[in-house]
């Protein structure tokens, strides 16, 4: 898992040196050596720190001339309400990237807590990711949608920007359907997890 780019990119990705928080007086544990602004950081230290961050798991899917394409992503986030924009990062060498890049539309499938096998499949190279037992259908715009997802967010490409060894993809949301009681799938420290609310709402 990269710096929260897609799982297909860097499988696992990655803070602060020991110090006392001036506001709370609590000690902040060390994870690695102090790094001055502008200095580089050891890749393993970076991945270790980033792995502590729990993220929701989605699969981005799109139609292509060679059939549907998709990949697992943990960098998905909302960007703007007006206009409605979302974004995600994808590794420049990800096998599904050319198809997603060239498609005018794509879908974000927010996976449910019981869909970890789907997440793993769409993060695996060299397999037909849409083959059974994966169940899916097409939207009216011919975008592949994964059955069982707790939300489908339909998008048109809005902007694409090269950032480091990844591409930042911004989509303009054209439609969305969600399951109110759906429980999301999470990813942290190289494994999948479920959401356990601290306070019931």
Sheet holding 185-188, edge to edge: 55-56, 185-188, 191-194
Place of tokens 């939207």: 139
The pLDDT-based confidence of 123 (bands split at 50, 70, 90) is: very high
pTM: 0.78
Percent of residues, the chain, with pLDDT higher than 90: 62
Model confidence over 34-69: pLDDT tens digits?
555 667 888 888 888 888 787 899 999 999 999 999
Two structure tokens written together for 61: 């899917």
Could you tell me if 85 and 158 are in contact, meaning their C-beta atoms sit under 8 angstroms apart? yes
90 neighbors 163 (Cβ within 8 angstroms): no
| Choice among 18-22, 30-34, 136-140, 163-167 with the minimum mean pLDDT | 18-22
User: pLDDT tens digits for 15-34?
Assistant: 333 333 444 444 444 444 55
What's the distance, Cα to Cα, between the start and end of the chain in Å? 31
Q: Hey, what domains does the chain have and what are their CATH numbers? A: 55-194 (2.30.110.10)
Q: What is the pLDDT of residue 62?
A: 97
């Amino acid at each position: 898992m990269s710096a929260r780019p897609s799982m297909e990119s860097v499988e696992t990705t990655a803070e602060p040196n020991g110090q006392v928080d001036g506001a709370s007086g609590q000690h902040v544990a060390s994870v690695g050596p102090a790094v001055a602004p502008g200095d580089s950081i050891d890749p393993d230290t970076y991945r270790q720190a980033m792995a502590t961050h729990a993220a929701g798991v989605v699969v981005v899917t799109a139609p292509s001339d060679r059939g549907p394409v998709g990949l697992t992503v943990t960098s998905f986030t909302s960007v703007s309400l007006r206009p409605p924009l979302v974004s995600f990062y994808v590794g420049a060498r990800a096998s599904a990237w050319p198809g997603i890049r060239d498609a005018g539309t794509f879908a974000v499938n927010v996976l449910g807590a019981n869909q970890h096998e789907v997440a793993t499949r769409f993060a695996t190279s060299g397999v037909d990711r849409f083959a059974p037992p994966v169940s899916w259908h097409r939207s009216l715009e011919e975008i592949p949608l994964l059955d069982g997802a707790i939300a489908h967010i339909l998008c048109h490409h809005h902007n694409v920007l090269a950032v480091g060894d990844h591409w930042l993809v911004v989509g303009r949301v054209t439609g969305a359907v969600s399951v109110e009681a759906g429980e999301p799938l999470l990813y942290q420290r190289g494994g999948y997890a479920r959401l356990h609310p601290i306070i019931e709402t």
